[in-house]
Structure 1
Amino acid sequence: MLFAQQDTRADGPSIGSIEELGKALFFDANLSRNRTQSCSTCHAPEAGFTDPRNNGFDDPVSRAVSLGDDGTSIGDRNAPTASYARFSPKFHLREDGEYVGGQFWDGREADLEGQAGGPPLNPIEMGMASKEDVVARLQENADYVAAFKVYFGDSIFEDPQAAYGAMTKSIAAFERTDEFAPFDSRYDRYLKGEVKFTKQEELGRTLFFSDQFSNCNECHQLRQIPGAERETFTNYEFHNIGTPVHTAVRAANGSGERFADLGLLANTAVSSVEHAGKFRVPTLRNVAVTGPYMHNGVFKDLRTVVAFYNQYNTTAESAKINPETGRPWGRTQFPRTLSVEELTVGPALDDQRIDALVAFLKTLTDARYEHLLEGKR
């Protein structure tokens, strides 16, 4: 076994399992340089495991990207939800030449363990200088020391690399619990016959899973049978959907217009320029309560996202305008790698069908977050 699941000795640690240890670590702000930020800061349970904070900037930068432990740094990407992240396969290259899975928007970490080890050492996130410094912080907590020794061996702290790895394994174990993936949304209850959809929600469901009337399930359906239980609503592929540059964020973080987020190509395991500008398809679980949207947080409203996709299927002049700004959608930096085939499936959607799709997407909200939805039932 890689590690023990639970200590059953009478003199065991106060932290009773690997998962409990991971939970304590997930919420521990002492693992950041200034002791102000934890994993839960940017992946807050009460906000669908995304970042609910105002980062100190006005709209449209506020909440689009996260504020670091130093109180001033912001990045260029939106913090993705940690909900249902355990189901992403390890990052790999499929036989068809497409990359799939991993963690982060560019898949640069193969699994949850790798993802957990990134933020503590990121200078614009939790800001710790080294793994050794993180391990030293761990040893300040007597409960951690006792738990680490029981679950990973008495000599675990003799090797900082191993101790850091034990920390990431613990956090990953917590993230694999049902707290992150309860599958109890209105949609899941509908599949069990426990609730009925409204006419609008039912229309949205039909449109979503139809190859003839929308392109949603081209990327947001994993299981072969539409409506299968425990659907995660992502195929874990990487695509360039033409998301416009978030110019306000670029101005705020100083990266400027000339900076290009390479997406998948920024992953050191990827070298072909055909993958520039591609990002991992996110789960749609809890999508209605985890905005702002896209990898850079450029859109505030879920309906705007659906309208953005619709522009690829219509020649209407009105579809070329971002309803949030009243201006054209904005440029993408990698027009040559657009996933044109996937984006152009299906006919144009009228307002009624756009609204129906949004209504269906709201049904994917876990029960614990339903109170966050606008217009409570």
Structure 2
Amino acid sequence: MSLSPNAALPPRIPADDGLDPKQRRHAIRRALVALAIVILLGMLAFSAYALTFPERMPATIGLLVEDITGANPAPVHLERPPVAPLSALALLGKQIFFDASLSASGKQSCASCHSPNHSYGPPNGLSVQLGGPHMDQDGYRPPPSLAYLYRQAPFSIGPDANDADAAVNLNAEAAAAQGVPRAQKTAGAAPAAPAIVPQGGLFWDGRADTLQKQASGPMLNPVEMANKDTADVVDKLAHAKYRDMFEMLFGKQIFDTPNLLIDEAMSAVSRYQIEDPSFHAFTSKYDYWLEGRARMTQAEIHGMRLFNDPDKANCAGCHLSRVSPDGLPPVFTDTQYEALGVPRNRTLAQNKDPAFFDMGVCGPFRSDIATQTQFCGMFLTPTLRNSAERGVYFHNGVYHTLKQVMDFYNLRNTHPDAIYPRDANGKLQPYDDLPARYRANIDVADAPFDRKFGDPNAMSDQDIDDIIAFMKTLSDGYKVSAN
């Protein structure tokens, strides 16, 4: 074996160093061990860099991430929300959250559709939940999870959050955004241009700016809790078993001011969601792996690399996976809106009408920016935390497994016949859940949607299995080993 002149060698031990041969061999051995330690430390540091910035790593070098131990070589400290006893207002909110008597049927509470046993998402795999006065009405959309909303900003359009004290003209913001190219989303890299798209807000279309407003929406929704009007809600609150808590917190006169009563009730629900740790537990395997307290399998590590790979799954382009500079754990969403072109769910009641289209930000359930048609078909990007615990996905509940979701991303452009139906004449109907005039809004720039018909798929079946394995590490409730 020959070595180049520049090859790393142990320090040369002079022959006239006064050492006998045995001592000289020991000295050489120690030098070799020291060199091996230096090389190992360098590899660990490089692996940490590759984990943090996988998009900067060539594919062959990126394999260093798949450390045989499954441990995070660069643990971090996560800044979780503080844990404290619930305030009196939050305790009142908890009672309201679980009170089915507040619905017209007497059988539906907030927790019915946002089950604490299912990460505050739907408790089953139905495309939409049943509600209404007799619990026989189909909902319009599957309930999003209420978990991890404590950092959600109000709805806005443009690169910067709006001043909370300033009057917001969304149509003016949207008009200013017209003609500005949408920033391409690449995992691990900040966009080269401002994100001139809607962001923030609650519900699939962002029509509620606060948890308080979100909590009040189902109360009067005819296919949810289905109260006839605010007087109906006030009467139910006045006869609730926790009436005395209202009087203790706000005085007996609160029941003489109906609008204030409802405002305070919904404020209490929002405080419960903010204060109770179960809404933002950060107890997933991934959280503990970030902290160096858990080890991933090789499949999970490979899935994480693909999740963060800008040329493969590119999931992290929208579902941000990095810890913030100040140590906040990732919530796996950029809280922006995307038009993905998911296929129409023909089982939904409203979709029996072929002329009906749910177009998200521009209607039908919000109307304030309906004229801003550049946003038609856009829906809020949800958190992927606890997504493996859901039984329904996307705004229309068309898919029921993560495998179906990943196949959609993988095949939508390369094999659209596997995603979309054909009409009576056998013609393929791509993007069939959005009117043709708005289909230019659908994302065809971000990987894996940047591929064309007949191109190789971005991911293999094994890749998809590994990505799903990684996504399962985002479920809360992981038990850390004592070892």
Q: Name the counterpart of 2:260.
A: 162
How far apart, in 2, do the equivalents of 1:369 and 1:363 lie?
11
Shift of the alpha carbon at 1:214?
2.5
62-71 or 357-366: which moved more? 62-71
- In structure 2, the CA distance between the partners of 1:184 and 1:16, relative to structure 1 (3 Å rule), is closer
Q: Name the counterpart of 1:339.
A: 443
Question: Higher Cα Rg: structure 1 or 2?
Answer: 2
Whether 1:362 and 2:439 are equivalent positions in the alignment is no
- In structure 2, the CA distance between the partners of 1:229 and 1:207, relative to structure 1 (3 Å rule), is farther
Whether 1:112 and 2:206 are equivalent positions in the alignment is no
Q: Name the counterpart of 1:190.
A: 289
- In structure 2, the CA distance between the partners of 1:120 and 1:367, relative to structure 1 (3 Å rule), is same
Identical-pair percentage: 32
Tell me if structure 1 keeps the 8 A contact 2:218–2:224.
Answer: yes
How far apart, in 2, do the equivalents of 1:369 and 1:138 lie?
40
Structure 1 runs of 4+ with >4 Å offset:
222-226, 327-330
Q: Gapped runs of 5+ residues in structure 1?
A: 1-5, 7-14, 54-61, 371-377
Match of 1:48 among 101, 113, 119: 119
- In structure 2, the CA distance between the partners of 1:240 and 1:254, relative to structure 1 (3 Å rule), is closer
How far apart, in 2, do the equivalents of 1:254 and 1:94 lie?
32
| 1:307-348 deviation per Cα after TM superposition (whole angstroms, max 9, x unaligned) | 1111256x3x4x74149xxx9987231422102222535871
- In structure 2, the CA distance between the partners of 1:98 and 1:153, relative to structure 1 (3 Å rule), is farther
Shift of the alpha carbon at 1:369?
11
How far apart, in 1, do the equivalents of 2:411 and 2:112 lie?
35
Q: Name the counterpart of 2:358.
A: 261
Give the superposed CA RMSD.
Answer: 2.9
Q: Name the counterpart of 2:347.
A: 248
Q: Name the counterpart of 2:54.
A: none
How far apart, in 2, do the equivalents of 1:186 and 1:112 lie?
28
Shift of the alpha carbon at 1:83?
1.3
For 1:167, give the aligned amino acid.
A
How far apart, in 2, do the equivalents of 1:290 and 1:328 lie?
28
Match of 1:93 among 152, 157, 163: 157
Shift of the alpha carbon at 1:106?
0.3
Q: Name the counterpart of 1:64.
A: 127
Shift of the alpha carbon at 1:129?
1.0
Q: Name the counterpart of 1:56.
A: none
How far apart, in 1, do the equivalents of 2:238 and 2:197 lie?
42
Tell me if structure 2 keeps the 8 A contact 1:108–1:268.
Answer: no
Match of 2:148 among 81, 84, 96: 84
TM-score normalised over the length of structure 2: 0.66
Whether 1:18 and 2:93 are equivalent positions in the alignment is no
For 2:263, give the aligned amino acid.
G
Shift of the alpha carbon at 1:358?
0.7
| 1:270-293 deviation per Cα after TM superposition (whole angstroms, max 9, x unaligned) | 230111111000000100011211
SS in 2 for 1:340: coil
Structure-to-structure mapping, 1:268-307, within 5 angstroms:
268-270=367-369, 271-307=371-407
TM-score normalised over the length of structure 1: 0.83
For 1:362, give the aligned amino acid.
K
Shift of the alpha carbon at 1:247?
0.7
Match of 1:152 among 247, 250, 254: 250
Q: Name the counterpart of 2:109.
A: 38
- In structure 2, the CA distance between the partners of 1:363 and 1:32, relative to structure 1 (3 Å rule), is same
Whether 1:180 and 2:279 are equivalent positions in the alignment is yes
For 2:145, give the aligned amino acid.
T
Q: Name the counterpart of 1:375.
A: none
How far apart, in 2, do the equivalents of 1:364 and 1:174 lie?
23
For 2:388, give the aligned amino acid.
A
Q: Name the counterpart of 2:460.
A: 350
Shift of the alpha carbon at 1:72?
1.4
329-338 or 33-42: which moved more? 329-338
165-174 or 69-78: which moved more? 69-78
SS in 2 for 1:150: helix
For 1:295, give the aligned amino acid.
H
Tell me if structure 2 keeps the 8 A contact 1:120–1:127.
Answer: yes
Whether 1:218 and 2:294 are equivalent positions in the alignment is no
